[in-house]
Amino acid sequence: MSVCEDMLLCNYRKCRVKLSGYAWVTACSHIFCDQHGSGEFSRSPAVCPACNSALSGKLDIVRTELSPSEEHKAMVLAGLRPETVLDISSRALAFWTYQVNPP
């Protein structure tokens, strides 16, 4: 699979743009471009535009940088136990796999 084929796409039905810069990730495993995420998730209560799940938890919606700096990558998991780092990595890989190979 080439790099272009496995780029994440905005899950907003009418958008589907290749994501870069910042994106919005949901607890229900969807991802949105910054434009649609900012618009959709500024409303209360927040609802996922892809699956209509309620997103009421503090970490149910997260705005993330898709290409973090080397400094950020060096520090973000520093100090965590190895099993925690592996758990986080496993969840991130499962999210990526779900996005590039939807059911």
Residue range 19-67, pLDDT digits in tens:
999 999 999 999 999 999 999 999 889 999 999 999 999 999 999 999 9
* CA 33 to mean position of chain CA atoms: 9
Sign of the torsion formed by the C-alpha atoms of 47, 53, 84 and 34: negative
Q: Mean of the pLDDT values across residues 12-18?
A: 96
Q: Which residue has tokens 């998991």?
A: 77
For the segment 77-99, what is each residue's pLDDT rounded down to a tens digit? 999 999 999 999 999 999 999 99
| pTM for this entry | 0.89
What was the pLDDT predicted at 1?
A: 40
What confidence score (pLDDT) does residue 103 get? 76
Whole-angstrom Cα Rg for the chain: 14
Rounded CA-CA distance 10/36 in Å is 8
